[in-house]
Amino acid sequence: MLFKNLITTFACLGLVFTSLTSNAEIFSVIEPKPISELWLNPGAYSYHFQRDKGFNNNNYGLGAEYRYSTVGSVMVGGFYNSDRYTSHYAVWHWQPLGLGPVRFGAVVGAIDGYPKMLDGGWFFAVIPTVGIDYKYIGASLMLVPSY
């Protein structure tokens, strides 16, 4: 099941990346430039399409993001997940494409705390992202498949 989800995620990312870059007049490839910024993450709010499963939507937590480039950052932290357990994460966030102020990319890394994934142990994840930042505040939308 995990392997199938990884293959599906990589296939979707490939299709999205190919589609976005083939429309070069609409989307731009963001030039990587060195920066040094530290951001704090208070967690997330999630919406679950499987409304009958009783998932938790308020995924509060605490994390840090170090932006070393205009397209890349590393993130670590923890949050109260959708299954009502504590999760931790260590990921790389890559956002190489832009459409005005909106950025497109993916989070790649390790997450734990989901009881149905390796009994709550650490697992590898690739999650497509769309984000927007303004001065010192930002928001990201992540499409996470069900498991």
Within-domain flag for 69: yes
Within-domain flag for 34: yes
pTM here is 0.80
Within-domain flag for 33: yes
Confidence tier at 110 by pLDDT (50, 70, 90): very high
pLDDT in tens, 24-66: 568 899 999 999 999 999 999 988 888 888 899 999 999 999 9
H/E stretch holding 2? helix 2-22
- For 2, list phi and psi in degrees, rounded to 5: -60, -45
The two structure tokens encoding residue 51: 């409304």
Q: Within 10 A of 29 (CB to CB), how many other CB atoms are there?
A: 12
CATH number at residue 21: 2.40.160.20
Within-domain flag for 59: yes
Within-domain flag for 147: no
106 close to 131: Cβ distance less than 8 angstroms: no
- CA 122 to CA 112: how far, in whole Å? 4
Within-domain flag for 105: yes
Torsion sign across C-alpha atoms 118, 123, 126, 132: positive
How many domains are there within the chain? 1
Adjacent-strand bridge partners of 101: none
Within-domain flag for 49: yes
- CA 104 to CA 129: how far, in whole Å? 6
Q: Which domain holds residue 68?
A: 2-142
Predicted local confidence at residue 107, as pLDDT: 96
Helix (H, G, I), strand (E, B) or coil at 52: helix
